[in-house]
Amino acid sequence: MPPSRRPRWARSARRRARAARPSVRPRSLRAQSTPPRSPTPTRSSEPVVERGASQEVASSRRWSETSVGDARTVGEHTVEERRADKHWAGAFNARDLGGIEVAAGAIRPGVLFRSGKPEAWEPEGFREAAASGVRRIVDLRDPSEPGGAPADAGVAGIDYEFSPIEDPRSPRFQARFRPYMNHTSGYADFLDMFGDRVAGAVGEVFAGSPGALMCCSAGRDRTGIVVSVILLALGASDEELARQDELAVRAVNERHRGRTHPYESWQPREIVDEMVASRRASLLDFAASLDARAFLDHYGIGSKRLEAASEWLLDA
């Protein structure tokens, strides 16, 4: 898309007060910064997406499943727990999106989920996911990244499909994202590059039936951009997007505890709080600039598809 042309789904950014937005961004919070040369701990803006090799089961379960409306403090924010976090064996950053308020009601529990890479799950994890309502997994990666669908998904009765939302071999992608998209400041540019793919993944979720789970490697940025488009199209608040992103950032950071990674590592709470603030500011800008329904309509995912999906997605 020529840079001089503004897509018709893009809106002029609205000015809004953000009490949590820092007046000066620390040097350590450069969005989409160049990765460090060694795996030593850094004060980077992101816990990095894990790609490839499977990991052992995360021992830390920071948030337990609680009743609807229970409030917990996460960082400096109060997050309503809606029986959201799922501790399926081997899973991390896994949540039920049920209970999120949207324009026409709220997302039903047990019909829409997100997660980090399923190849990290144990066989019991797939059975537990199926018991929670997961019927199909929409993996947003190219099949070559995880090495294909985990066999245990089919054994548990879960359909597994790939809907890749990026082409990492694209020169534009390689020039903009190093080594991959790892901050919400890149979401708008990512849509410019791969809008058709992102819309296609949303269409796959809408065209199916209840029990869809979206995933990538960490379940944060590729999953995050698709979830954000869905929530905005349904009329969720910008604050809800920021809350979901915070949960993902903190969950992925815990995933890094005690593990080595070529780009980043586990970070203490004060650094993660900075990560959350940095990402929040960029995410709210992205939400303000995007007309999600116009975006989906541009790629053939019109209001009729959205209304049909709402029949199983939403409680009025």
Residue 228 domain-assigned (yes or no): yes
113-139 tens-digit pLDDT:
999 999 999 999 999 999 999 999 999
Q: Which residues on neighbouring strands pair with residue 70, listed in sequence order?
A: 81
Pick 288 or 78 by higher pLDDT: 288
Residue 12 domain-assigned (yes or no): no
Residue 241 has φ and ψ, to the nearest 5°, of -60, -45
206-255 tens-digit pLDDT:
998 999 999 999 999 999 999 999 999 999 999 999 999 999 999 999 99
pLDDT for position 83: 61
Residue 30 domain-assigned (yes or no): no
Q: Count of domains in the chain? A: 1
Number of other residues whose CB lies within 10 A of the CB of residue 275: 25
Give the separation between CA 96 and CA 107, rounded to whole angstroms. 10
Q: Which residues on neighbouring strands pair with residue 102, listed in sequence order?
A: 105
Highest mean pLDDT among 10-14, 139-143, 255-259: 139-143
Q: Is 135 strand, coil or helix?
A: coil
Burial of residue 288 (number of CB atoms within 10 Å: 0-12, 13-18, 19+):
middle
Residue 275 domain-assigned (yes or no): yes
CA angle 176, 242, 238 (to 5 degrees): 100
pLDDT for position 144: 94
User: What is the mean predicted confidence (pLDDT) over 142-153?
Assistant: 96
157-191 tens-digit pLDDT:
999 999 999 999 999 999 999 889 999 999 999 99
pLDDT for position 20: 35
Whether the predicted pLDDT of 270 surpasses 80: yes
pLDDT for position 26: 32
Residue 48 domain-assigned (yes or no): no
Percent of the chain surpassing pLDDT 70 = 75
The residue range of the domain holding 252 is: 68-315
Whether the predicted pLDDT of 284 surpasses 80: yes
Whether the predicted pLDDT of 25 surpasses 90: no
Whether the predicted pLDDT of 291 surpasses 70: yes
Residue 165 domain-assigned (yes or no): yes
CATH code of residue 231: 3.90.190.10
